Amino acid sequence: MSFLADNFPLLRDAFLTTLSLAVVSGICALVIGTLLTAMRVSPVAPLRGAATFYVEIFRNTPLTVVFFFLAFGIVEIDLQFPTRFITAVAALALYTAAFVSEALRSGINSVPPGQAEAARALGLDFRQTLGTIVLPQAFRTVVPPLGNVWIALAKNTSIAAGFAVTELTAALQRLTNENANQLLLVFLAIVVAYLVITLPSAWLIGVIERRTAILR
């Protein structure tokens, strides 16, 4: 146990890095994903096309490849993110946004079309109809699938380990390299650290799901 205490600063920093990777890219993914979804249901065909193209590209590309591209690929066109952390956030957010958009779109499809029709008949424009009537109802039905996306994102942060961000999985690699005899203990500590993020999330998702359950 003294081994864990000795390495506490590393583990703590790694945990906080993982957590902030997940939270920051989660928020960005939610924003981008919502915009993408708005584009995908808009009456403007080029917007629909562009958003669908985006989603299909990112949904069907391995996350590691997205990381590679943002870390090294864009240097070719003289672009670079200021820090490795930001590179990781960008990769995670751009990738996860595609899944957020898919979840939201399925939620929008679950809102009866009569709801949007009634809003349009009142004189609400496209943005108001989407923002006041359709999305709030869609968000409620997408809590479970968005929860899955969030948990997947929390675990996907581990890819950043391969791109020189010292988060939990990188800490795992470093500690096991240096302390081969403590392998199980290190594994245990890292798994517990991930669970500290994902288990309360799963519980919270359940609470939100019950709170927002919609009356039909």
Partner 1 sequence: MTSSNGEPLVRLSGVNKWFGELHVLQDIDLQIARGEVVVVIGPSGSGKSTLCRTINRLESIEKGEIAIDGVKLPDEGKQLARLRSDVGMVFQSFNLFAHKTILQNVTLGPIKVRGTSKADAEKRARELLERVGVSAQADKYPAQLSGGQQQRVAIARALAMDPKVMLFDEPTSALDPEMINEVLEVMIGLARDGMTMVVVTHEMGFARRAANRVVFMDGGRIVESADPETFFTNPTSDRAKDFLSKILNH
Residues that bind partner 1 (CB under 8 A): 43, 112, 114-115, 117-125, 128, 132-133, 136-137, 140, 214-216
* CA dihedral (88, 93, 95, 99) positive or negative: positive
By the 10 Å C-beta count (0-12 exposed, 13-18 middle, 19+ buried), 179 is classed as: middle
- Assess contact for 160 and 167: CB atoms under 8 A: yes
Nearer to partner 1 by Cβ, of 136 and 144: the residue is 136
Nearer to partner 1 by Cβ, of 103 and 133: the residue is 133
Residue 130 DSSP label: I
Residue 215 DSSP label: P
Nearer to partner 1 by Cβ, of 120 and 174: the residue is 120
Residue 213 DSSP label: P
User: Could you tell me the smallest distance in angstroms from the CB atom of residue 215 to partner 1?
Assistant: 4
User: Could you tell me the smallest distance in angstroms from the CB atom of residue 114 to partner 1?
Assistant: 4
Nearer to partner 1 by Cβ, of 136 and 206: the residue is 136
User: Could you tell me the smallest distance in angstroms from the CB atom of residue 169 to partner 1?
Assistant: 40
User: Could you tell me the smallest distance in angstroms from the CB atom of residue 127 to partner 1?
Assistant: 10
d(CA 130, CA 118): 12
User: Could you tell me the smallest distance in angstroms from the CB atom of residue 131 to partner 1?
Assistant: 10
Torsion angle (degrees, nearest 10) of CA 38, 40, 45, 50:
100
Residue 167 DSSP label: S
Nearer to partner 1 by Cβ, of 9 and 216: the residue is 216
